[in-house]
């Protein structure tokens, strides 16, 4: 027999004003196994809690029901009181007689009192069948994997490393840096991107707590929070990075050319290449699609070229001075254990070919990212503004906003950074070439950010023309090589046409190609637009649906550098808070399979939203097993099991049936 | 006191239960005939719970969960919906009016909707009269 104590709270007048307390107490005393029924003005106050604690300590009760407000706010408080009095905290139930009773039925005292009795009967019925439960703890790896080495991943990694945690930074490209490395200057402060980014990249490269794994991708993920096992594929580099000094000699002798991705194809690189001059790590790789040796080998089986290795002896040209070329290199796999993961794989920009109305085939129509490279000192023209078609300096440039953003045909969202980088571009050009004509076409101008509006105003003062009025309808190529923009000007209330030498399209920021796949590896889901989704926009902005997996930067949605860095720091703090204590708490409210009742049907396996259930061989038969650490605690499996072989602790079938019984009896 | 409807509500902690709390905070009034049993997720609702409530004489059963796509546990509400539809067909076969069992997606902020659903259900039950099982059919 249980010894149940029922404690009815007046909550000042909040409950008492509608519920007849004495009647409820008298009723409670008649319920089976209830040995004490007391009331108090404020049960959650210290004297209120002490009432319960005293009764427990004196051995009068071993189960507690508090009839008061909502368990959503007060259950933890009373559970703690039980614990402090030496009783298992799960021997506790709450009857919600305020929020769901007195407040809602204030003018129906009789109804409110009757309902209070039934709610208490239901709580008593449930607590009677309560079992003692223990929160479980599992050891956690004190390490974090950061995936993606853009500005977001870099900052997350550095903060974690500074906290003394071991960090694995995994980057797909040969070098870290991401999209920011491609930018010339950065709004709103106009710092040169490389000047602020490169020192941080170097810091990552030399930090003793950071293991930098570039030119690598996630291949497989096992485990869960505290104990993820991530398998990484390190792509074959065909250059021994232990030996490569990054001198770049190979790039001066390699005869094969391919479009330079870092410059978005605006010029060529060699088949053996270092991604960009400030690369970290500064190491060469061979692109086998374009390398003459590999091409010939694939086609004819013969050995050719190898100039990077051997040089051209007849011309007295030496090969790699470090003897680092390694044609026989293979992909390598490595598995690391980490306690938490941060996904920071960023974004890609939409390509221009989608926009047939803007003459995408013209070399003088560029995306904004291509334009960044064109004006960058490390770009294909070393920062000289020249038209790709004829190499001449353009006298006029038009910028078009919202290309693919805020457009039902492509993306309904706003890419957020375009308005601002268009002003940045205008500013850079006007400062370099004061007599250039600039036309900036907007649907409307969005400058909601610190110092943004001032940035906009000062750009206009430099003489850039801002035209607002809906989407630009077309960019046509004129016979004289000019590009004609057709648009509408709201201020003039009329259509406008402008002929320019160069057009820059602010194409949308899109999720990277493998965002969804990566999310799936880690149980993090994508939103409608394909960016990884946070669990709660306000309360858990960098958490994903998968515990221990965090997100930051543009992989979560379009944002600028300051926001990406802030999120990165938030994600680092959250990941650290997860792994630092060295152990992870798992809720006692979870599912468990009673093995001998399991009929091996496997229904639960597919139902579980957390993939927490597996069929495991036991004495020659496959039986379901719930991995407690993965169980999210929804109870779906227990509800579906045809053999009733799954107990859902905290909300057992018997408990809920007893509540139904109570509610329908009284 | 004459017959009063008795409604059993099984509500998920994250949405419908929260909506009921909010309805109280906002002092929305609705009939005191509905009583919530709190479960973590609508996916925890076994068909048996509904059957048991009806056999025991509950005049109506309401299942409350998060809106599609909002389930705290990703997909429990879809599973609840599937089971619910199946059960509803069976119960109709048994002569239980379909209005007596109801599934609603009520988010934590939809206090008004919660109060409205209960008010409506209460009125409907008063129209239908007591549960036919209780009437001894
Ligand atoms: C044209 C243009 C101009 C801009 N100008 C400015 C500006 O002036 N000021 C400003 O504040 N912001 C500007 N921005 C925005 C800025 O570029 C972003 O805020 C910032 O780069 C986001 O950083 P990130 O680390 O989130 O993503 P990214 O820079 O995209 O970095 C992601 C990294 O992850 C890697 N990665 C991708 N997939 C994988 C994978 N599967 N496995 C491992 N690694 C992977 C990528 O190779 C990359 O290194 C501009 C954006 C554009 C398009
Ligand atoms: S948590 Fe509300 S329905 Fe699943």
> What are the tens digits of pLDDT across the range B1-43?
589 999 999 999 999 999 999 999 999 999 999 999 999 999 9
- Find the residue in B nearest to A591 (Cα): B44
Task: In whole angstroms, give the CA distance from residue A73 to residue B119.
Answer: 26
Q: Which ligand 1 atom is at minimum distance from the Cα of A517?
A: 41
User: In this complex, do B29 and A112 lie within 8 Å of one another by their Cβ atoms?
Assistant: no
Looking at ligand 1, which atom is closest to the CA of residue A218? Answer: 42
The ligand that comes nearest to the alpha carbon of residue B108 is 2
HSE of A527 in the Cβ direction (CA atoms, 13 Å)?
Answer: 18
- As a residue count, chain B comes to 137
Over residues A579-588, mean pLDDT: 92
What was the pLDDT predicted at B1? 57
Chain A nearest-CA distance from B113, in A, is: 14
d(CA A489, CA A469) in angstroms, rounded, equals 5
- CB neighbours of residue B128 within 10 Å: 15
Distance A123 CA to ligand 2 centre (A): 21
Pick from A635, A640, A642 the residue to mutate for testing the B interface (most B CBs within 10 Å): A635
Residues 53 to 72 of B: which have CB under 8 A from any A CB? 53, 56-58, 71-72
The atom number, within ligand 1, closest to the CA of A558 reads 19
Interface mutation vs chain A, best among B6, B26, B35, B45, most A CBs within 10 Å: B35
| pLDDT (tens digit per residue) in A283-330 | 999 999 999 999 999 999 999 999 999 999 999 999 999 999 999 999
Mutate to test the pocket of ligand 1, among A176, A183, A449, A569 (most ligand atoms within 8 A of CB): A183
The percent of residues in chain A predicted with pLDDT above 70, rounded, is 100
Q: What average pLDDT does this structure show over A341-369?
A: 98
CA distance A318 to A501: 45
Residue A610, pLDDT score:
85
Residue B50's nearest CA partner among B110, B98, B108 is B98
CA end-to-end span of chain B: 23
In this structure, what are the phi and psi dihedrals at residue A657, rounded to the nearest 5 degrees? -65, -40
Whole-angstrom distance, CA of residue A148 vs CA of residue A169: 7
Q: Are A212 and A336 in contact (CB under 8 A)?
A: no
Contact A656 B46 (CB under 8 A): yes
Distance in angstroms (rounded) separating the CA atoms of residues A346 and A523: 18
C-alpha distance from A228 to closest chain B C-alpha (Å)? 21
Omega before A281 within 30 of 0, i.e. cis: yes
Task: Tell me what the mean pLDDT of segment A196-219 comes to.
Answer: 98
Q: Is the CB of A505 under 6 A from ligand 1?
A: no
> How does DSSP classify residue B16?
H
Look at residue A545 and tell me whether its pLDDT is greater than 80: no
What DSSP element (H or E) covers A622? strand A621-626
pLDDT grade for A536, boundaries at 50, 70 and 90: confident
Over residues A634-648, the pLDDT tens digits come to: 999 999 999 999 999
- The class (CATH top level) of A347-510 is alpha beta
- Which residues of chain B are within 8 Å of residue A660 when distances are taken between CB atoms? 8, 37, 49, 52-53, 56, 58
Q: Say how many CA atoms lie within 13 Å of A642 toward its Cβ.
A: 6
Nearest-neighbour CA in chain B from A158: distance (Å)? 32
Helix (H) or strand (E) holding A371: helix A368-375
CA nearest B104: which of B8, B11, B5? B11
- Checking if the pLDDT of A32 tops 60, the result is yes
3-state secondary structure of A492: coil
For A406-448, write each residue's pLDDT tens digit. 999 999 999 999 999 999 999 999 999 999 999 999 999 999 9
Supply angle C-alpha A535, A537, A540, rounded to 5: 55
Interface of B with A in 71-110 (CB under 8 A): 71-76, 79, 83
| Smallest Cα distance from A76 to chain B, Å | 15
Write out chain A residues lying below 8 Å of B29, CB-based.
Answer: 104-108
Separation between Cα atoms, residue A604 and residue A458, nearest integer Å = 62
Q: For chain B, what is the radius of gyration of the CA atoms?
A: 14
pLDDT at B135: 62
Angle at A527 between CA A523 and CA A528, to 5 degrees: 140
* Tens-digit pLDDT profile for residues B59-77: 999 999 999 878 888 889 9
Please work out whether the CB of residue B131 comes within 6 Å of at least one atom of ligand 2: no
Cα A660 from chain centroid (whole Å): 42
What does the pLDDT read at residue B137?
47
Question: Looking at residue A523, what is its pLDDT?
Answer: 83
Per-residue burial over A172-199, b if 16 or more Cβ lie within 10 Å, else e, is bbbbbbbbbbbbbbbbbeeeebbeebbe
pLDDT band at A219 (very low <50, low <70, confident <90, very high): very high
Q: Which atom of ligand 2 is nearest to the CA of B77?
A: 3
Size of interface A-B (CB pairs under 8 A): 139
- Domains of chain B (ranges; CATH) run 7-129 (3.40.50)
Contacts of residue A54, Cβ cutoff 8 Å, sequence gap at least 6:
none
**For residues A248 and B115, what is the distance between their CA atoms, to the nearest angstrom?**
72
pLDDT band at A543 (very low <50, low <70, confident <90, very high): very high
List phi, psi (to 5°) of A15.
-95, -45
Indicate the SS3 state at residue A565: helix
pTM: 0.82
Question: What is the reported pLDDT for B94?
Answer: 85
User: Could you say which architecture CATH assigns to the domain A590-648?
Assistant: 2-Layer Sandwich (3.30)
Query: Residue A99 and residue B21: Cβ atoms within 8 Å?
Result: yes
Residues 37-56 of chain B whose Cβ lies under 8 A from any Cβ of chain A: 37-41, 43-46, 48-49, 52-53, 56
Ligand nearest to the backbone CA of B71: 2
Mean pLDDT of chain B: 92
Binary contact (A660, B6; C-beta < 8 A): no
Nearest to A589 among B36, B40, B72 (CB): B40
Q: How many Cα atoms sit within 13 Å of A192 on the Cβ side?
A: 10
**Chain segment A598-651, per-residue pLDDT in tens:** 999 999 999 998 889 999 999 999 999 998 888 889 999 999 999 999 999 999
- Which pLDDT score, from 0 to 100, does residue A470 have? 81
Instruction: From the CA of A561, give the closest atom in ligand 1.
Output: 11
Measured between alpha carbons, how far is A600 from A615 in angstroms, rounded to an integer? 7
The chain B residue lying nearest A98, using CA atoms, is B24
| CATH assignment of A143-235+335-346+512-583, among 3.40.718.10, 3.50.50.60, 3.30.160.250, 3.40.50.800 | 3.50.50.60
Q: Measured from the CB, is residue A188 less than 6 Å from ligand 1?
A: no
pLDDT at B136: 58
Write out chain A residues lying below 8 Å of B49, CB-based.
Answer: 656-657, 660
Do A4-128 and A590-648 share a fold? Answer: no
Enumerate the domain spans of chain A.
4-128, 143-235+335-346+512-583, 249-330, 347-510, 590-648
Q: Is the dihedral of CA A88, A91, A96, A97 positive or negative?
A: negative
Contacts 24+ apart (CB under 8 A), B77-81: B77/B12, B77/B41, B77/B42, B77/B43, B77/B105, B79/A607, B79/A636, B79/A639, B79/A640, B79/B43, B80/B41, B80/B42, B80/B43, B80/B45
The pLDDT of residue A374: 95
DSSP character at residue A525? P
Nearest CA in chain A to B71: A634
Phi-psi category of residue A121: left, alpha or beta, with phi > 0 → left and psi -120 to 50 → alpha: alpha
Say if residue A94's pLDDT is above 70.
Answer: yes
In the prediction, which pLDDT does A546 show?
83
Interface test with B, best of A664, A665, A666 (most B CBs within 10 A): A664
Shortest Cα distance, chain A CAs vs residue B136, angstroms: 16
Task: Find out if CATH 1.20.120 is the number for domain A4-128.
Answer: no
Q: For A651, which of B6, B36, B40 is closest by C-beta distance? A: B40
DSSP E strands: which ranges in A202-251? 210-213, 216-224, 227-234
Angle between helices A46-57 and A71-84 (to 10 degrees): 50
Query: What's the whole-number mean pLDDT along residues A485-506?
Result: 96
Tell me the chain A residues in contact with residue B27 when contact means C-beta distances shorter than 8 Å.
Answer: 103-104, 106
Quote the ligand 1 centre to A426 CA distance (angstroms).
Answer: 21
Dist. CA A175 → ligand 1 center (Å): 13
The pLDDT of residue B69 is 79
């Amino acid at each position: 027999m249980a010894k149940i104590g029922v404690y009815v709270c007046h909550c000042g007048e909040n409950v008492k004003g509608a519920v007849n307390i004495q009647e409820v107490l008298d009723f409670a005393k008649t319920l089976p196994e209830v040995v004490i029924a007391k009331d108090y003005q404020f049960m959650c106050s210290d004297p209120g809690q002490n009432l319960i604690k005293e009764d427990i300590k004196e051995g009068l009760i071993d189960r507690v029901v508090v009839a008061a407000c909502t368990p959503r706010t007060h259950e933890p408080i009373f559970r703690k009181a039980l614990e402090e009095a030496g009783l298992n905290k799960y021997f506790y139930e709450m009857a919600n007689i305020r929020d769901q009773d007195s407040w809602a039925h204030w003018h129906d005292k009789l109804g409110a009192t009757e309902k209070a009795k039934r709610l208490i009967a239901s709580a008593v019925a449930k607590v009677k069948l309560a079992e003692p439960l223990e929160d479980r703890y599992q050891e956690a790896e004190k390490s974090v994997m950061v995936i993606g080495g853009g500005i977001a991943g870099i900052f997350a990694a550095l903060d974690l490393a500074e906290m003394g945690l071991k960090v694995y930074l995994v980057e797909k490209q040969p070098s870290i840096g991401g999209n920011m490395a491609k930018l010339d200057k950065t709004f709103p402060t106009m710092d040169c991107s490389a000047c602020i980014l490169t020192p941080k990249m170097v810091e990552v490269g030399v930090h003793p707590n950071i293991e930098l794994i570039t030119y690598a991708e996630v291949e497989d993920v096992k485990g869960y929070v505290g104990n993820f096992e991530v398998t990484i594929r390190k792509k074959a580099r065909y250059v021994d990075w232990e030996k490569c000094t990054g001198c770049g000699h190979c790039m001066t002798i390699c005869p094969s050319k391919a479009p330079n991705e870092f410059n978005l194809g605006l010029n060529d690189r060699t088949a053996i290449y270092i991604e960009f001059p400030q690369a970290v790590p500064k190491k060469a790789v061979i692109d086998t699609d374009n390398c003459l040796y590999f091409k010939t080998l694939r086609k004819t089986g013969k050995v050719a070229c190898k100039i990077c290795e051997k040089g051209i002896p007849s011309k007295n040209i030496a090969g790699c001075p470090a003897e680092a070329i390694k044609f026989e290199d293979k992909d390598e796999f490595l598995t690391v254990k980490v306690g938490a993961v941060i996904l920071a794989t960023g974004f890609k920009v939409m390509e221009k070919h989608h926009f047939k109305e803007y003459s995408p085939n013209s070399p003088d129509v560029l995306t904004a990212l291509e334009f960044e490279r064109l004006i960058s000192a490390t770009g294909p023209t070393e920062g000289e503004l020249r038209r790709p078609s004829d190499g001449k300096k353009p006298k006029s440039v038009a910028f078009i906003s919202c290309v693919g953003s805020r457009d039902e045909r492509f993306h309904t969202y706003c890419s957020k950074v375009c308005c601002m980088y268009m002003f940045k571009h205008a500013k850079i050009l006007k400062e370099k070439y004061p007599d250039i004509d600039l036309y900036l076409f907007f649907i409307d101008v969005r400058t909601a950010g610190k110092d943004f509006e001032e940035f906009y105003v000062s750009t206009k003062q430099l003489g850039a023309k801002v035209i607002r009025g809906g989407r630009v309808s077309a960019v046509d190529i004129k016979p004289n090589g000019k590009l004609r923009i057709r648009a509408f000007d709201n201020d003039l209330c009329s259509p406008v046409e402008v002929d320019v030498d160069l057009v820059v399209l602010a194409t949308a920021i899109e999720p990277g190609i493998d965002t969804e796949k990566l999310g799936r590896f880690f149980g993090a889901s994508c939103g409608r637009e394909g960016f990884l989704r946070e669990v709660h926009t306000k309360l858990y902005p960098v958490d994903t649906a998968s515990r221990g997996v965090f997100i930051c930067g543009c992989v979560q949605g379009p944002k600028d550098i300051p926001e990406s860095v802030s999120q990165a720091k938030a994600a680092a703090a959250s990941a650290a808070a997860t792994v630092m204590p060295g152990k992870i708490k798992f809720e006692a409210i979870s599912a468990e399979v009673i093995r001998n009742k399991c009929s091996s049907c496997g229904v639960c396996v597919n139902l579980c939203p957390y993939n927490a259930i597996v069929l495991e061989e036991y004495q020659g038969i496959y039986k379901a097993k719930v991995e407690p650490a993965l169980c999210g605690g929804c109870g779906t499996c227990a509800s579906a099991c045809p053999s009733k072989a799954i107990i859902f602790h905290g909300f057992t079938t018997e408990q809920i049936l007893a509540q139904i019984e109570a509610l329908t009896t009284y | 006191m004459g017959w009063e409807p008795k409604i059993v509500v099984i509500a998920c902690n994250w949405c419908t239960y929260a909506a009921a709390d909010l309805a109280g905070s906002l002092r929305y009034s609705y009939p005191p005939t509905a009583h919530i049993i709190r479960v973590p997720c609508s996916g925890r609702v076994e068909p048996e719970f509904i059957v048991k409530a009806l056999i025991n004489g509950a005049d109506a059963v309401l299942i409350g969960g998060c809106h599609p796509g909002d389930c705290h546990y990703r997909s429990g509400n879809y599973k609840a919906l599937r089971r619910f539809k199946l059960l509803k067909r069976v119960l109709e076969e048994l002569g239980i009016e379909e209005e007596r069992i109801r599934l609603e997606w009520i988010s934590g902020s939809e206090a008004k909707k919660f109060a409205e659903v209960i008010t409506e259900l209460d009125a409907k039950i008063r129209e239908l009269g007591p549960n036919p099982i209780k009437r001894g059919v």
